[in-house]
């Protein structure tokens, strides 16, 4: 049965919530795409159906992204994405092959830290428009139960 993974993103600029629908909490995050995702801030909701997961390493500025279209470019020009700039989350997902359950367990103890000098955001490249954004802060994952 599919599961809902709730996401709380608390930045120095905005706080927003979201969710990923995943096939199982035991799925390795980077190798099994969520079937859907949705994020909300101040009544503004943006949804995307992930078609691609990418991870980009950089010293003190690594990030992971889910996109609703497949592109070989680091910088898409169409579609929507959720870009999370966090070295600790990057290491958990892209280096250590964490599952959704690992993210829930680990962030419940110590939230993943968002990079203070890069914008974590939900972006619509078709407009273009950042529906949600912020630098610094934390991200926490929780189990939202069966869908």
Which pLDDT belongs to residue 43?
Answer: 87
Torsion angles phi and psi, residue 141, rounded to 5? -110, 135
Across residues 18-27, what is the average pLDDT? 98
The CA distance from 10 to 140, in Å, is: 9
Across residues 95-121, what is the average pLDDT? 97
- With a CB cutoff of 8 Å and minimum separation 6, the contacts of 73 are none
- Look up residue 77 and give its two tokens: 């020009």
Across residues 24-48, what is the average pLDDT? 96
The backbone region for 136, taken as left when phi is positive above 0, alpha when psi lies in -120 to 50, beta otherwise, is left
- Going 135 to 54 to 8 to 99, the CA torsion angle's sign is negative
- Look up residue 69 and give its two tokens: 């279209």
142: pLDDT strictly greater than 90: yes
88: pLDDT strictly greater than 90: yes
Across residues 68-92, what is the average pLDDT? 96
pLDDT mean across residues, the chain: 96
Show me where the domains of the chain are located: 3-146
Q: What is the pLDDT of residues 52-66, one digit of tens each?
A: 999 999 999 999 999
Burial 48-68 (b: 16+ CB within 10 A, else e): bebebbbbeeeeeebbbbbbb
Across residues 124-133, what is the average pLDDT? 94
The CA distance from 136 to 119, in Å, is: 8
């Amino acid at each position: 049965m599919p599961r809902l993974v709730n996401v709380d993103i608390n930045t120095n600029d905005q706080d927003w919530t979201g969710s990923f629908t995943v096939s199982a909490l035991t799925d390795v995050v980077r190798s099994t795409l969520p079937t859907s995702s949705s994020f909300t801030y101040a009544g503004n909701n943006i949804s995307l159906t992930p078609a691609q997961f990418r991870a980009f390493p950089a010293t003190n500025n690594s990030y992971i992204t889910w996109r609703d279209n497949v592109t070989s470019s680091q910088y898409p020009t169409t579609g929507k994405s959720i870009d999370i700039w966090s070295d600790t989350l990057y290491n958990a997902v892209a280096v250590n092959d964490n599952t959704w359950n690992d993210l829930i367990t680990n962030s419940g103890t110590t939230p993943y830290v968002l990079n203070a000098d890069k914008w974590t955001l939900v972006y619509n490249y078709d407009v273009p428009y950042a529906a949600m954004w912020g630098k610094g802060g934390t991200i926490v994952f929780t189990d939202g139960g069966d869908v």
